[in-house]
Amino acid sequence: MYVCNCFGVTEDQVKRHAEGGACTPRQIASACKAGTDCGSCVRRIQALLGRGGYPRPALVAVERDVEQGADPEEQGLDQDEAAAA
């Protein structure tokens, strides 16, 4: 199923890029241009990234630090990001 009709990018292609390390819509755009024309697919890409459980490297590091007892607010995270970590 196409996620980005402008560039013919499929859901599977986005997932593969995400597994390869692209964990934001901007990184997906760099990898395959999806989201760089009309932009109507960016929310779908965001949803795929969120649903697929592709963690942002920074949040993985914070999660590790929190598990070790660090305060997430000291690391500049707001409540939503800390909750997501």
Find out whether 23 and 56 touch, Cβ atoms under 8 Å.
yes
Which CB, 9 or 85, lies closer to ligand FES? 9
**Which residues of this protein are in contact with ligand FES, per CB under 6 A?**
4-6, 34-41
> Least Å distance between CB 3 and ligand FES?
7
Spatial neighbors of 67 by CB under 8 A, at least 6 apart, are: none
Question: Rounded to the nearest whole angstrom, what is the least distance from the CB of residue 49 to ligand FES in the complex?
Answer: 14
**Cβ 15 to ligand FES, closest distance in Å?**
16
